[in-house]
Structure 1
Amino acid sequence: MLDSKTMKPKNTPPKPKMDWKLFLQQYGGLLALLVLFVFNAIFTPNFLSMQTLNINLTQVATIVIVGVGMTLVIATGGIDLSVGSLMAIAGALAPMIFMSDGLKDNPLGILLAFVLPVLAAAALGLFNGLLVSKFELQPIIATLVLFIAGRGIAQVLTNGNLQTFSNPSFQYIGLGKVLGLPFQVILMVLIVALAAWVMRRTVLGRSILSVGGNEKAARLSGIPAQRVKYAVYAISGLLAGIAGLITIAINSASDANQVGQNMELDAIAAVAVGGTLLEGGKATIVGTLIGALIIQLIRFTLLAKGVPDSVALIVKAGIIVGAVALQRSRRA
């Protein structure tokens, strides 16, 4: 029947209202990134130039690469504080290889300088996984071991000295360009795409989320939780090794005291802002990319407006607190 006043069917259920809170929880990061981009495009001179865009992308590339590994670890309910130190170890090993007497100016030396340091970082990441899974140490304690000792290992390898070099073949990973885009940015995109595919389409991805959501239930259902943890910590180490090579390639030098400094904090911040639950059980690789870009653009925006970098660090801390608070609201 029709209502005589409105000429609409009686007892029609009201249209569901837009749940803005849920919308912001799901798409807030992407919306914030869009707002920052539009703001800078309008108010920051030369922001849309290829030079400025490339600068922002190259500054965020290593954070994203390390952040991808951190996302996988956190998705299992863990944490990896050692990534910065593993970057330093990989960065210390590479010049020792391609500048050694037998391999200097030899293509084999360049190949080994790419492969061996990354494998060494992956092996040390596997050691973290062993401490967490086999010996059942708390992840924050297990990875604190290499957070401290790893930096010392890098310093011992280099005798505490700065290693400077000029090797275009090796430095292509940090300074090369493909069709005007920095090679490290292309590498970052490939790593993000591969990790996102693994999480969505493979048994490993589903196992990671199961272990992080309820490890006991995952074990009872036949998921090899130990091997899953070995895998994510090894991957985290491997990606940290790649980031370490990119860092020294850009700087034309390897400094064991500086390579990877505070990288673990930047990676965790990107993961948290990107929407991955810090308690495990959920992971969003693309969210980590978005989170890293948000942090980078906020820092860039503040610096472009003359705000000191120290203030930018305070703002970044506030963003992390807000992201964690939003996670709590979402769980509630």
Structure 2
Amino acid sequence: MSDLTRPSAAHDAGTRGFNLFGFLARYGTVIALVVLIAFNLAYTRNFATLQTLNVNLTQVCTIVIVAVGMTLVIATGGIDLSVGSLMAISGALAPMIFLGTIFPVGNIYLAVAVAMITSILVAGLFGLFNGWLVSRFRIQPIVATLVLFIAGRGIAQVMTNGNLQTFRVPQFQWIGLARPLGIPAQVIIMAVLVAAAAWALHRTVFGRSILAVGGNEEASELAGIAVSKIKLAVYAISGLCAGLAGLVVIAINSSSDANLVGLGMELDAIAAVAVGGTLLSGGKATIFGTLLGALTIQLVRYTLLANGVPDAAALVVKAGIIAFAVWLQQQHRV
């Protein structure tokens, strides 16, 4: 009798062992990306062209660069709403330096180098300020970063007096316009950043500490992890990523507008992280998942626009995707 019941028990165990929500949480983004590509190949005119590929990659790069830093922050159980404003600050400061608005620099290459390094570091310092508020004063991350979400863009506008800064400086604009070996420079930057962040998150003590803090902060402290320093570090990295993204944006546009640079980027970055499979509650993160999430969201928007759907509707669809991703995470954890 026991022999007769074993196959049935094994079958039941196998049935119970398959978790649909877990499967979708793990592979849903890849499946969605494949379906979108197949649909566009079949129905969207001129999709399978190098120009379309370049357009989509160019548009997604800045999202991914910002989302890498956002992934690390969210992995600790935090959030960073200030990234768009930090992009505006970085994008406002760089032209002021290499155009000589602040102080004259005779050598344009030196001016560009100083502008890029200074702008990224300033954004990183603002990110460090976010981390200080979160770690030192135990302020909720959404509240702490809301300070610079509001004030940061104001700072950028004051820096430029609200004026548009235009420029034609090839020595700087390579970061957004260069095509080494036919590959956009920002794609190379994005790929290097993604690879480095993925390695650091999963192969270093720092990365494992980030996940530990997000999984259980109190246990991490008892285990000897410097929780405050980890939080300071991830918010600083998020600021650095935002600063870099701000430079890419203004290089592509040949101008810097403090009113528009980085506008809404915090939502795109959070969406990429959520759709990519990183838990918004912290403790689990995937950098490559964030990359896939950003590509999926970009391709959804492109697909809708290419097939005559208004951009406003595309925003509604994006919001629905985010809501579904969060719901799926919750179901997977139940």
TM-score by length of 2: 0.94
Residue of structure 1 equivalent to 2:38: 38
* Higher relative helix content: 2
Mapping 1:262-277, distance limit 5 Å: 262-277=264-279
One-letter amino acid of the counterpart of residue 49, structure 1: T
Residue of structure 1 equivalent to 2:192: 190
CA distance in 1, matches of 2:79, 2:19: 33
Residue of structure 2 equivalent to 1:203: 205
Give the alignment partner of residue 282 of structure 1, picking from 272, 281, 284. Answer: 284
CA distance in 1, matches of 2:287, 2:116: 25
Residue of structure 2 equivalent to 1:58: 58
Residue of structure 2 equivalent to 1:6: none
Aligned residues: 326
Residue of structure 1 equivalent to 2:318: 316
CA distance in 2, matches of 1:188, 1:74: 19
CA distance in 1, matches of 2:284, 2:66: 18
Give the alignment partner of residue 240 of structure 1, picking from 223, 239, 242. Answer: 242
Residue of structure 2 equivalent to 1:92: 92
Mapping 1:124-273, distance limit 5 Å: 124-273=126-275
> Any idea what SS the aligned residue of 1:60 has?
helix
CA distance in 2, matches of 1:222, 1:78: 20
CA distance in 2, matches of 1:64, 1:232: 16
CA distance in 2, matches of 1:291, 1:37: 14
**Uncovered stretches (5+) of structure 1, i.e. residues with no partner:** 4-8
Deviations 1:104-161 (A, max 9, x none): 5521001111100000000110010000001111111111111111111101111111
Deviation at 1:46, TM superposition (A): 1.7
Contact 1:84 1:147 (8 Å CA) reproduced? yes
CA distance in 1, matches of 2:190, 2:268: 16
> Any idea what SS the aligned residue of 2:77 has?
coil
> Any idea what SS the aligned residue of 1:161 has?
coil
Residue of structure 1 equivalent to 2:81: 81
CA distance in 2, matches of 1:234, 1:162: 28
CA distance in 1, matches of 2:227, 2:135: 8
Deviation at 1:10, TM superposition (A): 8.6
Contact 1:98 1:104 (8 Å CA) reproduced? no
Q: Percent identity?
A: 65
Structure 1 vs Structure 2 CA RMSD: 1.5
> Any idea what SS the aligned residue of 1:91 has?
helix
**Uncovered stretches (5+) of structure 2, i.e. residues with no partner:** none
CA distance in 2, matches of 1:302, 1:11: 51
Deviation at 1:47, TM superposition (A): 1.1
TM-score by length of 1: 0.95
CA distance in 1, matches of 2:220, 2:5: 50
> Any idea what SS the aligned residue of 2:283 has?
coil
Contact 1:98 1:105 (8 Å CA) reproduced? no
Deviations 1:286-330 (A, max 9, x none): 111111111100110001110000000000010011001001001
Residue of structure 2 equivalent to 1:71: 71
Identify if the C-alpha distance between structure 1 residues 37 and 164 changes in structure 2 by more than 3 Å, giving closer, same or farther: same
